Amino acid sequence: MKASILITAYNHEQWIADALDGALKQVAGFDFEIIIGEDCSTDGTLAICQQYQQQHPDKIRVISQPKNVGLMANFVSTMDACQGEYIAMLSGDDFWTDAQKLAAQVSFLEANPDHAGSSTQANVEFHGRTDKRLLCKYVPTKESYQPSEMSTFMPAASSLVFKKDLIYPLPQWFLTIEYEDTAIRGMLAKRGKFHCLQRKSVTYRCNNWGAWQQLRKKGSTYMADAAETIKHHILQPA
């Protein structure tokens, strides 16, 4: 299996079909799978995921949590189930708009082993929260970034593709933090440069319900503490 599309979902009934449709529309000259980590939603998310699995049993697997375990534990167990050489991250409330996205990113990483990860430019939809800085942050204009630039380069998490064995198995401390994408970018930065596909291939929904917004609600001090925890474990990029 060349690639696994790793989707985490919790109470994404309104959005999950968009995520799955964008994943299924990928055109690639290699085998890929779609692994959905469904974290015991209280809405109809699981039923939608299971319906898609029934329609595409050769492509989709649903990892259903028996109880809500939270973002990080759900992410770890979902990655454990991924069989692909490459991992492509996608949140259940975002979606891909470019059918060539996965193929283009994997192809770049295969041809450029000095790059540890790949992202793309992203569109932003605002849902209850307006963070206009993302309109420029998510459209970086360089194709290649040095590890030292990862503190300022902020790609959309749902655009990330990387070789699984660069960070897997995930360290134990990974379960002690609050959000996964910053830690993953940091771990990858220790292994090489970062690529950005110069076209908008993802739509990120800037909202009031996601993990990052939950951190914001806990306050700036809490967010700073979470960031320091990640820095402590990752240290400085090589």
Provide the residue ranges of all domains of the chain, joining segments of one domain with +.
3-234
The predicted structure's pLDDT at residue 182: 84
What tokens does 30 get?
Answer: 């290699």
Q: Kindly state which CATH superfamily the domain 3-234 is placed in.
A: Spore Coat Polysaccharide Biosynthesis Protein SpsA; Chain A (3.90.550.10)
pLDDT of residue 222: 45
Contacts of residue 128, Cβ cutoff 8 Å, sequence gap at least 6: 207, 208
C-alpha to C-alpha distances, 234 to 149, 185, 186, 213, 231, nearest whole angstrom: 15, 10, 6, 23, 5
Mean pLDDT of the chain, nearest integer:
89
pLDDT score at 236: 46
Which parts of the chain sit beneath pLDDT 50? 220, 222-223, 236-238
Collapsing DSSP to helix, strand or coil, 104 comes out as helix
The answer to whether residues 118 and 162 touch, using CB atoms and an 8 Å cutoff, is: yes
Cα distance between residue 19 and residue 37, in whole Å: 13
CA distance 215 to 172: 21
Sequence-ordered alpha helix ranges (H) in 121-210: 133-137, 181-189
Instruction: For residues 77 and 32, give the distance between their C-alpha atoms in angstroms, rounded to a whole number.
Output: 18
Cα-based distances in Å from 144 to 16, 85, 188, 192: 31, 22, 14, 11
Distance CA 220, CA 156 (A): 21
**pLDDT tens digit sequence for 146-195:** 988 887 788 899 999 999 999 999 999 889 887 888 889 889 988 999 99
Q: What's the confidence (pLDDT) of residue 148?
A: 85
